[in-house]
Amino acid sequence: MSRNDDPQFWQNARRHLVRYGGRFEPMIIERAHGSFVYDADGRAILDFTSGQMSALLGHGHPEIAEVVADHAQRLDHLFSGMLSRPVVELATKLAGVAPAGLERALLLTTGAESNEAALRLAKLYTGRHEVVGFAQSWHGMTGGAASATYSAGRRGYGPAAVGSFAIPAPYPYRPRFERGGVYDWQAELDYAFDLVDRQSCGSLAAFIAEPILSSGGILELPPGYLAALKAKCVERGMLLILDEAQTGIGRTGLMFACQRDGVTPDIMTLSKTLGAGLPLAAVLTTAEIEETCHERGFLFYTTHVSDPLPAAVGAKVLDIVARDHLVERARIAGARLEAGLRALQRDFECIGDVRGRGLLLGLELVKDRATREAAPELGAAITRECMRLGLSMNIVQLPGMGGVFRIAPPLTVSDTEIDLGLDLLRQAITRVLAAGAR
Amino acid at 362: G
Query: Which of 43, 8, 17, 40 shows the shortest CA–CA distance to 27?
Result: 40
DSSP 134-156: ETT----SSHHHHHT--SS--TT
Pairing outcome for strands 204-209 and 239-243: parallel
Catalytically annotated residues: 138, 210, 243, 246, 272, 406
**SS3 category, 76:** coil
| Structural contact between residues 281 and 107, judged by C-beta atoms closer than 8 angstroms | yes
> At residue 13, what are phi and psi to the nearest 5 degrees?
-60, -45
What lies within 8 Å, CB to CB, of 94 at 6+ separation is: 102, 105, 270, 282, 284, 314, 318
| Contact criterion met (CB below 8 Å) for 362 and 379 | no
Strands 267-270 vs 178-179: parallel, antiparallel or unpaired: unpaired
Alpha helices in 280-348 (DSSP H): 287-295, 308-323, 326-347
Local structure of 26: helix, strand or coil: coil
